[in-house]
Amino acid sequence: MLGFETPSVEGQATPDAVWLARDSFALVFEAKSDESENDPISVRTVRQARTHETWARKECELSDEAAIHTIIVTPRSTVASQAKTYGAEMFAADLDTIRELGEDAAEALRRIRALADSTDVDHAVP
């Protein structure tokens, strides 16, 4: 929907999802949406997610210069102090934020389609 390819991901030690934008940009996700919001993001979770960039570089057709960003989807809002060393380049997002982004993107695409449908293509500039 947003122009990303989403290859099927299966197996152990793999991201839960991968979004690819050509060969130059990727988002890799580690989903921990069933965790308790009362605890911090653990060292174990960060270490697990830390391997996803390596997996994407090996398994996806990405350029050597591709930007790859790791996102942990979790209800947790803090990070265990021991995990901060390993997760400095990662991002965290809660499931509600991910859902809101999806809904906002879908709504924007609906508006663009409605505008495109109402545009008179006979008068379009070549």
Burial zone of 36 (CB within 10 Å; 0-12 exposed, 13-18 middle, 19+ buried): exposed
pLDDT score recorded for residue 120 = 59
> Is this prediction's pTM over 0.85?
no
For residue 48, is it within any domain?
A: yes
Pick the closest to residue 52 from 22, 78, 82, 32 (CA basis): 32
For residue 79, is it within any domain?
A: yes
For residue 100, is it within any domain?
A: no
Token output for 125: 């500039």
For residue 28, is it within any domain?
A: yes
Give the range of the structural domain holding residue 51, as residue numbers without chain letter.
17-94
> What is the residue-level pLDDT of the chain in tens, covering all 126 positions?
577 898 989 988 899 999 999 899 999 999 998 899 999 999 999 999 999 999 999 999 999 999 999 999 999 999 999 998 888 889 999 989 988 988 998 899 899 888 887 765 555 555
pLDDT score recorded for residue 68 = 96
**Dihedral-angle region of residue 42 (phi above 0 means left; psi in -120 to 50 means alpha; beta otherwise):** beta
For residue 87, is it within any domain?
A: yes
For residue 47, is it within any domain?
A: yes
Where in 1-126 does DSSP place strands (E)?
Answer: 17-21, 25-31, 67-73, 91-93
For residue 122, is it within any domain?
A: no
For residue 103, is it within any domain?
A: no
- The number of domains in the chain is 1
